[in-house]
Amino acid sequence: MVDIFLMGTVGSSNWRESFKAACIPLGIHYFDPVVPVWNEEAGKREVAALRSAKIVVMAILPESASIASLAESGWVALSALKRKQSFGLYIDPAVELGSDAVSDSMEEASTRARKLVVGHAAALKAQYPRLNLYLAPSLQELEKWAIQTAQRLNGQKQRKKVATSKHHKTSKTSAARKSNRPHQGK
């Protein structure tokens, strides 16, 4: 099972590297959907990992318009919350694409979409405060939240395993004691 699914800005961005470096020494399992060649098989792995992840993080950074990630963010948030996954979102308000007419147009569209997505996410969080939805003020805060959430969830999983194991041993011991009691006839 995947602990953290890393979604968001791709291309020349390397934001995932810091997350992965933080996960490895702690034994936190992550899924990075970025592959050299994306094909149908990669898509199937991505869908399976996304469905099984405990935490979904989405980071949208300034070095890309990230129109696809912005469009995908609502669907991802809805499905993550429906599956009772934790969902963390960071959207940098800036867009830095370059200086030509196409870039200016894309920057404008991306800036507008970023504001809309952040606004909708904040409204959702306000309307349903019990959702496990985190709106990060920075990429560093998103990483910190994701790591702490994974540790908390993994700790709960460990405690459940120990409690189940103790209950199972206690049940076996109780059953063994009962079976060793002499039969009391009438």
pLDDT tens across 149-179, in order? 999 999 866 555 555 555 555 555 554 444 4
Its pTM stands at: 0.80
Instruction: Return the DSSP state at 94.
Output: -
* 131 falls within a domain: yes
Is position 25 within any domain?
A: yes
Task: Determine, yes or no, domain membership for 88.
Answer: yes
The residue with greater pLDDT, 6 or 10, is 6
pLDDT score recorded for residue 184:
47
- Check residue 19 and give its pLDDT: 97
Domain count for the chain: 1
CATH code, domain with 99? 3.40.50
124, 82 contact by CB (below 8 A)? no
Q: Please write the tens of the pLDDT for every residue from 91-103.
A: 999 888 876 666 7
- Laid out side by side, the sheet with 55-60 consists of 30-31, 4-8, 55-60, 86-91, 133-135
Range of the domain at 172: 4-180
Gap between the Cα atoms of 54 and 85, Å rounded: 5
Q: Give a yes or no: residue 116 inside a domain.
A: yes
CA distances to 29, 79, 145, 155 from 102, in Å:
39, 33, 36, 49
Does residue 183 register a pLDDT over 50?
no
**Would 135 be classed as within a structural domain?**
yes
Per the DSSP assignment, residues forming a β-bridge with 58 are 7, 89
Spell out the residues 6+ positions from residue 177 whose beta carbon is closer than 8 angstroms to its own: none
- Residue 186 inside a domain? The answer is no
- Asked if residue 45 belongs to a domain, the reply is yes
Ramachandran category for residue 8: left, alpha or beta (phi over 0 → left; psi -120 to 50 → alpha): left
The secondary structure element, H or E, covering residue 92 is: none
Please indicate, yes or no, if residue 176 is contained in any of the structural domains.
Answer: yes
